[in-house]
Structure 1
């Protein structure tokens, strides 16, 4: 067991996926974690899986840290309550928007003078398709970004404790202002969610025959459209100004594309379409590559595998024996045959030799 960077008890207010995962991760460090949730059943499940012990109202508690794992629309109120009830504790929230919560806290007359010195807004960029404490994992935050957004009021001690929380959960710490954070997540998180939902909404009444032709491209674009609507109503509403700026730019691009497609053979139309696609290439190429490093160009190959247990493991084992590292991997299925199509990304210099070796071993490689 690695020692914790925190020393005292941690009170987690909210025992959903993130709150329970924080509890599991901190318990693995040997810390005393106390769980409190408005839902007795959610709290009980989190306690049962070992994320901490149940909060007892009558019991005196002096936590070093209070983690507010509440929905964005009530986070400010819960933070304010924790700052008042535990006057010696550092309080952090983990909501996915930061500016609105800080503004609400600054406007509260009920907070004691100097209370915001003990508050730090944070945002762990981690999650799962499933929700609730039953989906919690102590390793959920491993190597994932955890953004600290201290305000002008946050003390050095509070920032240190918030940093220690992220480090104890093996996250990668970033530091932004609340405004910088909200602008960044509007671009890299909220915009993709909205666009995925808009694309997926076009499928709701589409002919089944058309959807039978869908492949990884459609699945990749629409995967996050399955997210929880109730949560996203809160997130989008809280960060509407930052997202609106980006969406207005998207509307301009859509109007441009619609105008071009209205007369696709007009002079300059094909050039405009090519330019739009090129702009997309340029933007995609700026997404950080492996381990957050500079983007790299990889070569892809597709290997057909029988749709039965053990085939993908066998393929990856043999690629390892050949001495090639798999940089990325995607899986698709044939619409008419009982075979899977494993798309493998490797360094360009390794591609030819890998294709030759896999073919010699009996694998069918599509080039």
Structure 2
């Protein structure tokens, strides 16, 4: 087992997806965790699945103090819970994991709170599902854990916030609070808005038409299944920075509309090609696996019969061949009696893998 930086105890306030996942991850590392949630049901579920024990057990010992308090509350009440936690546990480092940092820090400063023991953080991980039953102890593995200390944060507090992310297997990075909010407006909040806007166009659509949908529609609308209540708070808290990007999107959409209104006009095809090329250029800048170059891997597609155990057999045989999968996607549209498994591997392994799979009877598309 890797070295653990925190010794605990750690208190987690909020037993939704992220809070419970933090509890599971720390408990797995041997760090004692105590849980608290306004919902007795959520707290009980988190306790039952092994994410920690009720915080009342910690407070039963008059001298007990947590090493770290993690505030995993909704963004609109995060500042309230942080302020109470700083007062409630006067020797603990208090971190929050809300997805917006600047507004919370400004709120706390406005209250005159001693912020030497407070550090804002943001684990860039999640699922479309919510609640403690969706929690996973490995949720943060290799995902960015952004630490956003304000100028008042003591060095020991910053170290504890970074240790929390490291103990959960995350990749810890440090941003300023405003710098963080600018970044997530583009890479997290805008994609959510665009996915939701696209998915909203599907309301009332004839299901016969939707039966033609492939991975393109599924990929671009996947995060549209996220919790509306949470996103109302996130978008409201980071609205000024998101709006700046939406202004740019509006200009691009208006440009596209003008072009498509007269697609045969001089220059129209060039403009459409340029718009698509601009998308290619932007997509090419997204880092690939482990932060490496985005196009460092080669892809192949394997046709898999729609029968139990076929995908498992394929993955087993790829392992027997001795090739490591870098990424995997599944496409199984309705009406097909086969699935398509898209596999990403190192370019040096591509041709040999194709040959080996075909010799084993798999149908491979390149």
TM-score by length of 1: 0.94
1:82 has 2:85 as partner: yes
Report matched runs for 1:340-351 at 5 Å: 340-351=339-350
Equivalent position of 2:359 in the other structure: 360
Equivalent position of 2:325 in the other structure: 326
Residues 239-296 of structure 1 deviation map (CA, whole Å, 9 limit, x = unaligned): 1011111111111111110111111011110000000000000000000012111222
Equivalent position of 1:175 in the other structure: 174
Query: How far apart, CA to CA, are the structure 2 residues paired with 1:3 and 1:300?
Result: 36
Report matched runs for 1:11-90 at 5 Å: 11-56=11-56, 60=62, 61-90=64-93
Query: How far apart, CA to CA, are the structure 2 residues paired with 1:269 and 1:349?
Result: 41
Does the CA-based 8 Å contact 2:15-2:37 persist in structure 1?
Answer: yes
Equivalent position of 1:105 in the other structure: 108
Equivalent position of 1:284 in the other structure: 283
Query: How far apart, CA to CA, are the structure 2 residues paired with 1:199 and 1:81?
Result: 40
1:91 to 69, 94, 103: 94
Q: CA 1:44–1:336 in 2, change beyond 3 Å: closer, same or farther?
A: closer
- Residue 139 of structure 1 and its aligned partner are, at CA, apart by 1.6
Query: How far apart, CA to CA, are the structure 1 residues paired with 2:134 and 2:166?
Result: 22
Query: How far apart, CA to CA, are the structure 2 residues paired with 1:15 and 1:59?
Result: 22
Does the CA-based 8 Å contact 2:211-2:333 persist in structure 1?
Answer: no
Aligned residues: 363
- Residue 73 of structure 1 and its aligned partner are, at CA, apart by 0.4
Measured on the aligned residues, the alpha-carbon RMSD in Å equals 1.7
Report matched runs for 1:221-232 at 5 Å: 221-232=220-231
Equivalent position of 1:311 in the other structure: 310
Residues 128-187 of structure 1 deviation map (CA, whole Å, 9 limit, x = unaligned): 222211222222211111000000100101101111111111111000001111111111
Moved more, 89-98 or 323-332: 323-332
Q: SS at the partner of 2:172?
A: strand
Does the CA-based 8 Å contact 2:326-2:345 persist in structure 1?
Answer: yes
Query: How far apart, CA to CA, are the structure 1 residues paired with 2:280 and 2:157?
Result: 42
Query: How far apart, CA to CA, are the structure 1 residues paired with 2:364 and 2:152?
Result: 59
Residues 40-80 of structure 1 deviation map (CA, whole Å, 9 limit, x = unaligned): 11111111122111122665342121110100000001001
Q: SS at the partner of 1:20?
A: helix
Does the CA-based 8 Å contact 1:12-1:23 persist in structure 2?
Answer: yes
Query: How far apart, CA to CA, are the structure 1 residues paired with 2:354 and 2:3?
Result: 46
Report matched runs for 1:113-192 at 5 Å: 115-192=114-191
Query: How far apart, CA to CA, are the structure 2 residues paired with 1:3 and 1:302?
Result: 40
Equivalent position of 2:263 in the other structure: 264
Query: How far apart, CA to CA, are the structure 1 residues paired with 2:2 and 2:287?
Result: 30
Runs of 5+ unmatched residues, structure 1? none
Q: SS at the partner of 2:115?
A: helix
Q: SS at the partner of 2:303?
A: strand
Does the CA-based 8 Å contact 1:15-1:37 persist in structure 2?
Answer: yes
Query: How far apart, CA to CA, are the structure 2 residues paired with 1:359 and 1:328?
Result: 20
Does the CA-based 8 Å contact 1:334-1:341 persist in structure 2?
Answer: no
Query: How far apart, CA to CA, are the structure 2 residues paired with 1:39 and 1:213?
Result: 42
Moved more, 47-56 or 342-351: 342-351
TM-score by length of 2: 0.94
Moved more, 236-245 or 82-91: 82-91
Query: How far apart, CA to CA, are the structure 2 residues paired with 1:350 and 1:169?
Result: 32
Moved more, 98-107 or 354-363: 354-363
Query: How far apart, CA to CA, are the structure 1 residues paired with 2:90 and 2:336?
Result: 64
